[in-house]
Structure 1
Amino acid sequence: TIRDLQNLSKRLKDKLEFSGVNYGLILRNENANDNLTTDFMRRLLNEEGHPTFKSRSAILGYTQEGCLTSPHDRCSGIKNGCRSTAWIILTMKTCGTKQNVKVFADRPETITVTTTKRGRVEFTPVEQLAKETDFVNCVPINQWWMKLRSLLNILSWSTDELSEHARSVKFDNAMSSLDSF
C-alpha cells in the first residue's frame, strides 16, 4: 500500500541519515500490483526521500529473456550442458538393453528437469515437480524463504523501531522460523 511505501521511505531516510548505511534495495515483482508500478514507487520514494536520498529503478526481466550473457552465464551453460549430456548417456545405458538399440525410458525418473537445490545441480523428475508446483500462480507450493519475512522486517527496522517491537509477536515468529532450518 502507499502507507507501506511511506513507512519504508521514512525508515530509509532514518537509516541513511543516522546509521551510516548509504543504500537500500527494494525488490518488486512486475505482477505485484497494477497501480503501484515500479515507476510510481520510484517517483514516490524520490518525493518522500528528498533531500536525503534519490531512488533509481532497474528492471531485470530483459536479461532473463536472452539479452547479453555474462561470462558466468556462459560458464554455467557449458557446465549444465555437460552434466545433462552425461546424465542422458547414463540414463540411456540403464534403460537400454544390450541385444537391441531401443531405449525404453518409461520410468518417471527418466523425464526430468535440471534444478538447483541447496547449491547442487539435480535432475528432478517432472512428476515430482508437478506435485510441488502451484501452476495457477507459477510458484513452488512450499516457499521456504517466506518464513524469513518476519526476520527481514525486523532487520530493516531502525534502532528505535526495533527496541519498540523486539518483544512483539513478529519477533517470536521470526525466531521460530529459524528453528525450522
Structure 2
Amino acid sequence: MTSTRRQNADTKGRIAARTQPMFNRVLPAHPAAVRDTLGDIRRRFAAEVGEDTLARLELVLAEVMNNVTEHGAGISVEDDPRRAPSIHISIVRHVSGLCCAITDDGASLPDDCLQPRCLPSLTQPELPEGGWGWYLIQDLTQALCYFREDQRNYLAFSVPFSEEARPL
C-alpha cells in the first residue's frame, strides 16, 4: 500500500471513529443536574438506539448518579449543594451496546455493593438501603467494574443492545 493510500485509510478510520455518537458531561451530584443529564443522554442516543436499550441505560444511570447524589458527599446535598461531589460521565455506542464510564469524587462505594445480589424479598416490610438499586444495576449491565484511586470512584459497564432493537 502506498503512503498516500495508507494515509487516506488512516484518516477515514479516524473520521469514522469521531462520528460515533459519544456523550460526555461533568455535573454536580445534585438531583436537578442528574435529571437534566438523563434527558440530554436520551436526546443524544434516541435516534440510534432502541427504546428498550435506552430505558435500561437510563434506569442504571439514574440509580448510579442518584446514589452519588444521596450518599457521595456524606451529607444531604439538598442541605449544602456546595459540597456536592462532581460526576464525570462518558458514554459511547459500541457494536454490542452502550459503554459507560462514570467517575466521581464522592465517598467510597461500600465494599458489599458489587457482591452478587438476589432480588429482595417482597415480603420484607422495609427494604434495606441498596435493596433494589444494586440488584437492578447488576441485572441490566455487563462487565460491571469498580475501583477507587486517589479519592475518586471509577465505575464502568456496558448496557447491551436488546436483540430485537439492534441499531444498524
Bigger strand share: 2
Does the alignment reach a TM-score above 0.5?
A: no
State the structure with bigger RCO (CA 8 A, min sep 6), 1 or 2: 2
Bigger helix share: 1
